[in-house]
Amino acid sequence: MYKEIILGIDPGFGRVGYGIITKDKQGEWRSLCYGCIETAPKSSFVDRIAEIHKELLQIIAKFKPTRMAVEELFFFKNLKTAIEVGQARGVILLTGVESKLPIDEFTPLQVKQAVTGYGRAEKGQMQKIVATILGIKEKIKSDDAADALAVALCAGQSLWIKKIKL
C-alpha cells in the first residue's frame, strides 16, 4: 500500500518552518514531526541559505516524504526581506526538485481556506484547528511550524480532492 508523507514548508531565511504529516490506520492525518530550521543572524546570507539546504536534505533523508508543499510569498513591507525570503524559497524548491519530490505551492489564503474553511482565519484560530486535526495535544510553540503543518494539510486536502475527481 502506498503511503503519502507530506513535507510542508513555511519559507524564510532566518527561520524555516517545516511539518511532516501522514495518514494513520484510521485515515486521519497525523503529524510525524514539526519544527524550525533556524539560521544564525550573524552568518552571511549565502551561509544561511546553504544551512537551510543542508538541514532540509537531512529532514528529507530521515522522513522520506512523497511530496513537498511550500507556501507562496504573499506580502512584505520590507523589499530587502522579500527578496531574501524569495531567494531562500528558491533554495527550498530546488532542494525538493533535487530530491525528486512533487511540489505543490499554495497561497496563505488557499491554506487558510483548506484548513479552516475561511480564508481570513486568524493565526491563533489556525494553530488550534491544525493541532486538533493532527491530534497534537500540546500547543504548537512556533508560528512557522504551525504554518508549515497547515501547508502540508492543504496539500493533503488537495490530493483528496484530486482523487475524488478521477
The enclosing domain of 129 has a CATH number of 3.30.420.10
Residue 10, annotated as binding a ligand: yes
Q: Give how many domains the chain has, as a whole number.
A: 1
Can you say how many angstroms the Cα of residue 117 is from the centroid of all Cα atoms in its chain? 19
Q: How many CB atoms lie within 10 A of CB 148?
A: 30
pLDDT reported for residue 143: 93
Residue 144, annotated as binding a ligand: yes
State how far the Cα of 18 lies from the Cα of 40, in Å rounded to an integer: 17
pLDDT reported for residue 81: 82
pLDDT reported for residue 163: 57
- Give the closest residue to 10 by CA, choosing from 50, 52, 62: 52
Residues tagged active-site: 10, 71, 144
State how far the Cα of 32 lies from the Cα of 22, in Å rounded to an integer: 7
- For 63, half-sphere exposure in the C-beta direction (CA atoms, 13 angstrom radius) is 25
Counting every residue written for the chain, the total comes to 166
Per-residue pLDDT of the chain (166 residues; tens, 9 = 90+): 468 999 999 999 899 999 999 998 888 999 999 999 999 999 999 999 999 999 999 999 999 999 999 999 876 677 778 889 999 999 999 999 999 999 999 999 999 999 988 888 888 889 999 999 999 999 898 999 999 999 999 999 887 655 545 4
Domain range for 75 is 5-165
Residue 71, annotated as binding a ligand: yes
pLDDT reported for residue 75: 64
Scan for cell 491554506, then name that residue.
111
With a CB cutoff of 8 Å and minimum separation 6, the contacts of 146 are 17, 19, 34, 123, 126, 127, 130, 131, 140
